[in-house]
A and B are shown apart, each in its own frame.
Chain A
Amino acid sequence: MKVIMKVVEMLAWFDTNGKPHPIRFRTQDNNGKNIIIKLDGILNSAIERHAGNQMVRFDCRVTIKNTQRELQLKYETTSCKWYLSKM
């Protein structure tokens, strides 16, 4: 997987413990065209606190053009931003 770290628009739900669960996100491809990627499943999630900055990391499985791939999303709790971290 390659590091991308790009801010994306995310549709997610939060459970009663405040934990986010991403559903699908919108980003732009190389031509600047909007693409929507739906998550097939979350394989793993963990909290990281590098330099004290808390982010929730999600390892996800997605299907893009009939090909299954894995990607990593991050949710930054202080700024409420979602990042496409690696793909």
Chain B
Amino acid sequence: MPKKCYFHVDVNSAFLAWEAAWRIQHGDPVDIREIPSVVGGTQATRHGIVLAKSTLAKKLYKAQTGESIFGLKQRAPNILVVPPRHGLYEIASQAFIDHLSDFSPKVERFSVDEAFVEYTGLEKLYGEPEQAAKKLSASIKQKLGFTVNIGISSNKLLAKMAGELEKPDKVHTIWPEEVPQKMWPLPIGELYMVGRKTEEKLKARGIFTIGDLARCKENMLRSSFKSQGSLLWNFANGRCFDTGKAGAANFQGMLPNNKETINAKGLGNSTTIAFDVEDMACAHRVLLSLSETVGSRLRENGYRAKTIHVSYATSEFKRSGKQKTYHFPCASTTEIFSRAVEVFDSMWSGEPMRQMGVWTGGFSIYNNAQVSMFSKAWKQEAVDNAIDKMRKKYGNHAAFRAVFLNSDIRHMIGGTASLRNFPYGG
């Protein structure tokens, strides 16, 4: 058996790099990666946060991904703010994955700008993993016009950790024997699955580095963090297994890419609304619009979902969410909407909302799912499938529900790759 080897390939400042590559291709003399610049939404629609930043923006003005453009502009009035173009990012991301697929037969997309590549058994073709990674990185730079970080290791978790070590345009390894030197000195917040809250809790227990966590006793962590404790303890020691958490990564092997298996744990969309939603009818319209997007994505991926989760953020950024699991899985927009409404109505107490989200989970394969004998959802699904085909052929605006006519709310919100903000098409 050849030694397992995985690459984690991550695009550096993805949105900014793709925008820069596109601009240079269209004759822009300025490379926005080499000046203080950020990609961010417009404040008018309340999407005014930093999505990506250039190295100089980080160095000079301490720009952070996720901070408000307004706050950043006060510190750095001359910084260049580029509006996002999600259609472009989708195309660039696909080109990135296609390029990786030319390199290795086993590629797993991890996010819009990250992917795992299995290198096991390819040594005879491309040589030692580090050399191959350097070649891959150079070919991406030359052909696609942006730089990537590549992390190499014998499992996907360590490959991901290696990819985060030093940026940009670098190749790093963390083989299991290198874990104590390379991974343990890192602050605990750098470990995968350690978020802001967990970081605080760990620090309160005197765990400041990944090494501190690795040297802890598993029982002690289990008593404070339950199963997540042993998961993190294993991660800190460079061992990985299925996280078992919805929305989190599966680090065991590579996921097959076909519709006969369920790859995703959850699928959902959320949106920030340009105004505060204060009445029930309007809230239901937003839910319907989100359900349209989620429903069409479910059907496209060949899933039916049992669990529905509805979340919202109030105008004071207080977040609430609730989920319910039903007996029968569904993929019809109307059914998802009615379930979302049921969950939403049971938790909303009328406070103004700025963000809403619908998420589905508990998937079964579309064609093999147990359906209810008494439900008429299959009829609705036939209509949905017909509409999906129409939308695929003539665009998302080909058919939409009359309730969205002359409405401030688009008929399919959530998801960002709207061709409306892309220069071509149509």
| A3-B29, A4-B27, A55-B25 given; A50·B424 CB < 8 A | no
* Inter-chain contact B143/A51, CB cutoff 8 Å: no
List residues 1-15 of chain A with CB under 8 A from any CB of chain B: 3-5
* Inter-chain contact A51/B27, CB cutoff 8 Å: no
Give Cα A50 to B91, complex, Å. Answer: 10
| A49-B95, A52-B95, A78-B424 given; A3·B25 CB < 8 A | no
- B88 interfacial contact with A, CB 8 Å: yes
Give Cα A49 to B93, complex, Å. Answer: 12
* Inter-chain contact A5/B26, CB cutoff 8 Å: yes
> Which of chain B's residues have a CB closer than 8 A to the CB of A4?
27
* Inter-chain contact A50/B27, CB cutoff 8 Å: no
CB-CB nearest in chain A for B25: A50
- A31 interfacial contact with B, CB 8 Å: no
> Which of chain A's residues have a CB closer than 8 A to the CB of B96?
52
* Inter-chain contact B18/A51, CB cutoff 8 Å: yes
> Which of chain B's residues have a CB closer than 8 A to the CB of A50?
21-22, 24-25, 144-145
* Inter-chain contact B27/A52, CB cutoff 8 Å: no
CB-CB nearest in chain A for B20: A51
- B146 interfacial contact with A, CB 8 Å: yes
**Candidates A3, A52, A79; contact of B423 at CB < 8 Å:** A79
- A53 interfacial contact with B, CB 8 Å: yes
* Inter-chain contact B27/A53, CB cutoff 8 Å: no
Which of the four size classes fits the interface of chain B? Answer: 20 to 34
Chain A nearest CB: distance from B244 CB in Å? 34
Give Cα A78 to B91, complex, Å. Answer: 11
> Which of chain B's residues have a CB closer than 8 A to the CB of A55?
25
- B131 interfacial contact with A, CB 8 Å: no
Most chain B beta-carbon contacts within 10 A, residue among A5, A51, A53: A51
Give Cα A53 to B322, complex, Å. Answer: 41
- B286 interfacial contact with A, CB 8 Å: no
* Inter-chain contact A51/B423, CB cutoff 8 Å: no
* Inter-chain contact B25/A48, CB cutoff 8 Å: yes
Number of A-B contacts (CB under 8 A): 51
Contact digits for B86-122, partner A, Cβ 8 Å, 1 yes 0 no: 0010011111100000000000000000000000000
> Which of chain A's residues have a CB closer than 8 A to the CB of B27?
3-5, 83, 85
Give Cα A79 to B88, complex, Å. Answer: 13
* Inter-chain contact B146/A51, CB cutoff 8 Å: yes
> Which of chain B's residues have a CB closer than 8 A to the CB of A51?
17-19, 21-22, 25, 88, 91-92, 95, 144-146
**Candidates B24, B26, B91; contact of A52 at CB < 8 Å:** B91
List residues 322-349 of chain B with CB under 8 A from any CB of chain A: none
Most chain A beta-carbon contacts within 10 A, residue among B93, B144, B146: B144
Contact digits for B267-296, partner A, Cβ 8 Å, 1 yes 0 no: 000000000000000000000000000000
| A78-B424, A79-B424 given; A49·B29 CB < 8 A | no
> Which of chain B's residues have a CB closer than 8 A to the CB of A48?
25, 143
Contact digits for A45-87, partner B, Cβ 8 Å, 1 yes 0 no: 0001111110100000000000000000000001100010100
**23 pairs across A/B with beta carbons < 8 Å?**
A3-B27, A3-B29, A5-B27, A48-B143, A49-B95, A49-B143, A50-B21, A50-B25, A50-B145, A51-B17, A51-B18, A51-B21, A51-B25, A51-B92, A51-B95, A51-B144, A51-B146, A52-B96, A52-B144, A78-B424, A79-B423, A83-B27, A85-B27
Seed contacts A49-B144, A85-B27; 13 additional CB < 8 Å A-B pairs: A3-B27, A5-B26, A5-B27, A48-B143, A50-B144, A51-B19, A51-B95, A51-B145, A52-B88, A52-B96, A53-B92, A78-B424, A83-B27
